[in-house]
Amino acid sequence: MKISVSYKKLWKILIDRDMNKKNLRELTGISTASVAKLTKGENVNTAILVKICHALDCNIGEIMDVLPPEEA
């Protein structure tokens, strides 16, 4: 079973705060590779998500959603 996630909430927060991905990288110290994974909706390390939450003063549920399993 493939676990799918969506980071649309994160991108909306960035837009609402007039921030871009570069600002997010600078604020959190995460790598460009991690931002690329987020952009593609790929899995990232929990520590990265926690860094983002601390930097944006939010909880994990405010930056991502776990999508239902894809039906075969």
Lowest mean pLDDT among 44-48, 61-65, 67-71: 67-71
Please provide the DSSP assignment of 3-71 as one string: -EEE-HHHHHHHHHTT--HHHHHHHH---HHHHHHHHTT----HHHHHHHHHHHT--GGGT-EEEPPPP
pTM, full prediction: 0.88
Which pLDDT belongs to residue 17?
96
Q: Is 70 exceeded by the pLDDT of residue 71?
A: no
4-67 classified as CATH 1.10.260.40: yes
Q: Which pLDDT belongs to residue 69?
A: 79
Domain regions of the chain by residue span:
4-67
- Rounded Cα gap, residues 12 and 9, in angstroms: 5
Cα angle 23, 15, 46; round to 5: 60
